[in-house]
């Protein structure tokens, strides 16, 4: 791993520039109907992914709502978006390694593509600089292309009764 990136990660850890980095690192579709968030703990959907649309992922990452969320987190006004008991906000030091996915085994990291490593490095810099509008891709992306599931988990909030068509542009 690049020494500069290691220093930046250490700075994120120690200075806690932001209490949560998920609005910079993640995009999670939370239902097969297309509602998305940046974190499963967030109170409401940030937007909607039209599965037949050709909207670019960068457009979804930089909507007014997502930028407002980043600004709120950056300025420690997360209460508008995040629940009071959010474990990431309140247990950040204990969860940082497992939730943020910053540290990789050097041997594994060297196998990642140059594009991934470059995107990750730019993202870490964007967080440290407090950028609200991003030109980096998420390092965590969760999409639900189908509502076909035969598992009936009690905690699952997928809308399994909806029939949603997914076009080639979604993929």
The answer to whether residue 117 sits within a structural domain is yes
Cβ(119)–Cβ(43) below 8 Å: no
Question: How far apart (Å, rounded) are the C-alpha atoms in residues 98 and 92?
Answer: 10
- How many domains does the chain fold into? 1
Q: What is the mean pLDDT of residues 80-95?
A: 73
pTM for this one?
A: 0.75
The answer to whether residue 150 sits within a structural domain is no
Q: Each residue of 132-165: pLDDT tens digit?
A: 999 999 988 887 766 566 666 766 655 555 555 6
The answer to whether residue 161 sits within a structural domain is no
Tokens, residue 113: 């593509």
The answer to whether residue 162 sits within a structural domain is no
Q: Phi/psi at 37 (nearest 5 deg)?
A: -140, 180
Q: Each residue of 93-128: pLDDT tens digit?
A: 565 555 555 667 778 888 989 999 899 889 888 988
The answer to whether residue 99 sits within a structural domain is yes
Q: Which long-range contacts (CB under 8 A, 24 or more apart) does 37-41 make?
A: 38/66, 38/69, 39/82, 39/88, 41/82, 41/83, 41/86, 41/87, 41/88
Residue 133 pLDDT: 94
First and final C-alpha spacing in the chain = 30
Q: Domain range for residue 124?
A: 3-142
The answer to whether residue 92 sits within a structural domain is yes
The answer to whether residue 74 sits within a structural domain is yes
pLDDT, greater one: 20 or 17: 20
The answer to whether residue 37 sits within a structural domain is yes
Min mean pLDDT across 5-9, 14-18, 129-133, 162-166 is at 162-166
């Amino acid at each position: 791993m690049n020494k500069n990136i290691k220093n930046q990660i250490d700075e994120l850890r120690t200075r806690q520039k932001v209490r949560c980095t998920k609005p910079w690192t993640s995009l999670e579709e939370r239902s097969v109907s297309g509602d998305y968030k940046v974190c499963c703990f967030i109170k409401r959907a940030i937007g909607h992914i039209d599965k037949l649309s050709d909207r670019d992922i960068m457009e979804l990452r930089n909507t007014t709502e997502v930028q407002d969320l980043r600004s709120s987190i950056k300025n420690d006004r997360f209460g508008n978006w995040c629940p009071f008991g959010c474990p990431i906000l309140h247990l950040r030091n204990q969860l940082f390694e497992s939730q943020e996915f910053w540290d990789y085994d050097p041997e594994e990291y060297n196998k990642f593509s140059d594009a991934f490593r470059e995107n990750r490095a730019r993202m870490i810099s964007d967080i440290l600089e407090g950028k609200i509008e991003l030109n980096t891709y998420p390092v965590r992306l969760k999409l639900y292309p189908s509502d076909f599931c035969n598992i009936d988990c009690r905690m699952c909030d997928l809308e399994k009764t909806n029939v949603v068509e997914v076009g080639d542009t979604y993929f």
